[in-house]
Structure 1
């Protein structure tokens, strides 16, 4: 267990520099994979958005509340840990499972949490080269260890909006080439109005073209995820709302972006 969550030998004070799975300390890989599926399996359970959820096998002597926030151009985990045990807890370590966005936690600089006391901080969340073979998901699997020699397992259902990059500079001239190069498409129609106004408030959706086609307004947007995957949208107004065509190099992101758009119309 001493190797759990180790960041390059445990000597670095920088944001996590590894994306090993939380159960990589298990030498039996078949047992490891079965254990992970069992521990992180939640079936069709709906999780609250942006609130850390403890999994059934997680001990209850430590309570952890956490949510992902964007502040001053960076991601942070707003974190609070409560020690519900009669013993002082030390030697805290946290790790995220391999994820397609390359998210890694900063080091938990906690000296100790006495019994029935709380500790809180904004923990930096860094980015490393992502695991491109990992399924696209907004669910972040989290493990925390401490001096009790127990492992605490959680899932964070991340807001999709926080997984997109803010884009201040953009080569609009290249967007036509990008649109033509993206092989996978998906379309969906929505009823409603005011979509353009909603998108104007988002620094992650960049309007790159606007024109009238057969008396219908056509808008084109570009989005970039934290792992530099581009998605482009063509939005056409209809008599009842909008028709949206999305294009991406990886088709997994198409259903992902429509999940976000669904939320704008709900």
Structure 2
């Protein structure tokens, strides 16, 4: 569930749309190649993305969907060589990304010992989603992704509850909370439910987020310097990339410290 740009046809650089903002310096329509996409499907300013204003590109993560669509769904036929497939290829990418995101969460859930009683159901769900990722483009475009997300989410929610129960005492429930710019420096958030919380620009310096459920939490510009996120639940590389941190920030071993930290 990691992006492998070497085996992708630059799909995120074409399929997605973006608007001029703090994350992008220009507007780009969906289906239109970014002006910096080279003929070999590589980014011409990859090492300068942030300095050139393309911060959004450094945050985005396809969870490995790009290479799956490029090499499996379309059998290695790229959209330049086979322009007739381009429209469907670009439409399939966001569907595949959602499925790969679910695979990412299910894979993590299966490593959580406190939720062992759910492992059989989690494995079944993972097998179903994996099977869907290997269907053809037409089937993927007709897929009711929301229904599958709902089924998986029920399992992940129960997994989270069982795992966070390891933290003694009453745990904070800030699911979906508006914590924009919140002053949470040094906060004890162990085992907290922060699902879908808006932590944009929040001050989380030195905060303890061990075993906190962070699925879907918005960490854009959140200050995680010195924070402890080891053992946090369902934290993704995209969330980490969007935040600010330093050498003292503790991350789960599955995630990489962003270069801009």
Q: TM-score with structure 1 length normalisation?
A: 0.22
Computing the radius of gyration from Cα coordinates, the structure with the larger value is: 1
Q: Determine which structure has the larger strand proportion and give its number.
A: 1
Q: Which has the higher contact order (CA 8 A, sep 6+)?
A: 1
